[in-house]
């Protein structure tokens, strides 16, 4: 019986890597299109899985450089107890300071705890890095969170049906060259899953008399989390050791 138990555990251990999502940092490329290609499997950052990435240009860019999922670079960070974060490098900017410019796109993805009994999501925050010249350029990033569920289009779907969303806020009107910290939005209660929907807008009313430019360089999404207390790990390890010892003594 003891040999059978060991073989079974070994078999499950061998199958686990085949079922697990890859680490985000190990993907072949770090472009948004690679993250999108991961689909529902996604990739892992520490104890959390990121999946269901989607990028949609809702307004065709006018007087801006071309930005798509192949040109956006995503960098994942495992910050331990401070929670995971993702950097999105866009370098999306106006092409001419003397002509009007407009662009709009949406970015969506999901975050899921791989160990819901121990690791939970508690908040979301957004940092926007944008620069501009003149007075008429704006770079705005808005975000809605589907707390405990997943966006389907712009609908927040929860296990029990439609749910409400909470907004992280605006990146602001950027023309000072200083990054903007949107702030942290705590959730009413820790959750195992979170849907994120961002709307990104660039606009400039540049003219010959009042030239203006704007550039959305990057933004960072950070997630607050809960982690097991040290006492929890000690209790778990003690119980596991006792179970193994008890099983061994019965089968000896």
pLDDT digits (tens, 9 = 90+) for 188-245: 788 999 999 888 888 888 888 888 888 888 888 899 998 765 544 444 444 445 555 5
**pLDDT in the model for residue 252:** 55
Q: What mean pLDDT is predicted for residues 162-174?
A: 48
How far apart (Å, rounded) are the C-alpha atoms in residues 167 and 144? 4
Tell me the pLDDT tens digit for each residue of 36-82. Answer: 999 999 999 999 999 999 998 877 788 999 899 999 999 999 999 89
176 φ, ψ to 5°? -110, -5
If DSSP states are collapsed to H, E and C, what string results for the chain? CHHHHHHHHHHHHHHHHHHCCCEHHHCCCCEHHHHHHCCCCCEEECCEEEEEEEEEEEEEEECECCCCCCCCEEEEEECHHHCEEEEEEEEEEECCCCCEEEEEEEEEEEEEECCCCCCEEEEEEEEEEEEEECCCEEEEEEEEEEECCEEECCEEEECCEECCCEEEECCCCCCCCCCEEEEEEEEEEEECEEEEEEEEEEEEECCCCCCCEEEEEEEEEEEEEECCCHHHHHHHHHHHHHHHHHHHHHHC
Q: pLDDT grade, residue 7 (50/70/90)?
A: very low
In this prediction, residues 84-96 reach a mean pLDDT of 93
CA distance 181 to 129: 9
> How buried is residue 26: exposed, middle or buried, by Cβ count under 10 Å (0-12/13-18/19+)?
exposed
Give the Cα separation of 112 and 114 in Å (integer): 6
Calculate mean pLDDT across residues 83-105: 92
Backbone torsions φ then ψ of 81, nearest 5 degrees: -65, -20
Residue 57 has a pLDDT of: 83
Strand order in the sheet with 155-158: 150-152, 155-158, 161-162
């Amino acid at each position: 019986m003891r040999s059978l138990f060991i073989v079974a555990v070994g078999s499950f251990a061998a199958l686990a890597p085949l079922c697990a999502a890859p680490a985000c940092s190990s993907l072949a490329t770090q472009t948004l299109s690679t993250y999108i290609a991961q689909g529902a499997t996604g990739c892992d950052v520490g104890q959390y899985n990121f999946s269901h990435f989607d990028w949609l240009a809702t307004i065709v860019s006018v007087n801006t450089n071309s930005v798509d999922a192949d040109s956006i670079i995503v960098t994942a960070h495992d910050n331990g107890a401070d929670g995971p974060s993702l950097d999105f490098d866009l370098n999306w900017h106006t092409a001419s300071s003397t002509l009007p410019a407009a662009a709009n796109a949406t970015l969506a993805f999901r975050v899921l705890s791989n160990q819901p009994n121990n690791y939970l999501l508690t908040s979301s925050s957004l940092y926007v890095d944008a620069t501009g010249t003149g007075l008429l350029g704006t770079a705005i990033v808005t975000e809605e969170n589907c707390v405990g569920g997943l966006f389907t289009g712009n609908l927040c779907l929860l296990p029990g049906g439609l749910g409400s969303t909470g907004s992280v806020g605006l990146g602001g009107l950027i023309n000072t060259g200083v990054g903007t910290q949107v702030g942290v939005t705590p959730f009413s209660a820790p959750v195992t899953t979170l849907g994120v929907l961002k709307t990104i807008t660039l606009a400039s009313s540049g003219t010959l008399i009042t030239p203006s430019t704007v550039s959305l360089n990057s933004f960072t999404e950070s997630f607050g989390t809960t982690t097991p207390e040290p006492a929890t790990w000690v209790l778990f390890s003690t119980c596991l050791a006792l179970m193994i010892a008890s099983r061994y003594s019965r089968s000896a």
